[in-house]
Amino acid sequence: MQKRWKTVLILTLTTFVLSVVLNLGSNSLLSVFPLTLSFGLLLFIVLIGISFDILGVAATAGDEAPFHAMASNRVAGARQAIWLVRNADRVSAFSNDVIGDIAGTLSGAVGAAIVFQIQPASYGINEALFTTIMIALIASITVGGKALGKGFAISRSVDILYVAGRILYSLEKIGIRVDNSGNKNKNKKR
C-alpha cells in the first residue's frame, strides 16, 4: 500500500511540474505567435493528448510475444516495447492520465487565450458564446480523436508499441532512460 501512495505522489508531482512548465511555455509562445500559429499550437497540443492516449491503450492491449522474436534478433526498440507491455499499468497511467489530462487542460487554456487574442466583441460577436463554441470544439475534437484512436490502438498495438519502443531506444542512445533497468540491483533487494 505504501508503494501505491508513493506512485500516486510521484504522478501528482510530475503532473504539477509538467503542467507549470508546459503552461508557461505555451503562454510565452501565444504572446508572440500570430493567430494562425496559435491555432497550430492548439492543434499540436490536442494531437499530443490523442497520441499519448493511443500509446496508453496500445500498451494495455499489447502482447509481448511479437517483440520477443525481435529482441532475440536484436531489433532496436524491441526490448523497450516489451518493457511498455510489461508496465502497461504505469504506461497507461502516465500516457492517459498525466499527459492526456495535461493536454486537455492546456488545450482549454490555449483555446481561451485564442479567444482573447481574437477579441470577438470587437467584431460584434458575443464573447461568452464564442468562448463556449471554442471550448466545445476543442473538447469534441479531443474526444472524437481519442475515440477513433482507441480502435486503432487496439488493432495496431504491435506497430504502435514498436514505434514507441524505437523512440525509447533512441532516447536511451542519447542518455535518457525511461525504465528502471539501470536500478536492477536496487530492485532485487526488495
Q: How far apart are CA 170 and CA 7, in angstroms?
A: 26
For residue 136, give every residue at least 6 positions away whose Cβ sits within 8 Å of its Cβ, in sequence order, or none.
none
**Which of 53-57, 113-117, 145-149 shows the lowest mean pLDDT across its residues?**
113-117
Length of the chain: 190
% of the chain exceeding 90 in pLDDT: 54
C-alpha cell at 19: 503542467
Distance CA 71, CA 79 (A): 6
Q: Is 125 in a helix, a strand, or coil?
A: coil
Q: What integer pLDDT is reported at residue 184 of this predicted model?
A: 47
Residue 19 has pLDDT above 90, yes or no: no
Are 103 and 52 in contact, with CB atoms under 8 Å apart? yes
* C-alpha distance from residue 69 to each of 77, 82, 130, 134 (Å): 12, 11, 54, 48
Higher pLDDT, 36 or 53: 53
Q: Which residue has the higher pLDDT, 112 or 81?
A: 81
Mean pLDDT of 50-62: 97
Position with higher pLDDT, 44 vs 131: 44
pLDDT attached to residue 150: 95
Tell me the percentage of the chain whose pLDDT exceeds 70: 93
Count Cβ atoms within 10 A of the Cβ of residue 39 and give its class: 0-12 exposed, 13-18 middle, 19 or more buried. middle
Indicate if the pLDDT at residue 28 is higher than 50.
yes
Q: Reduce the DSSP state of residue 95 to 3 states and report it.
A: helix
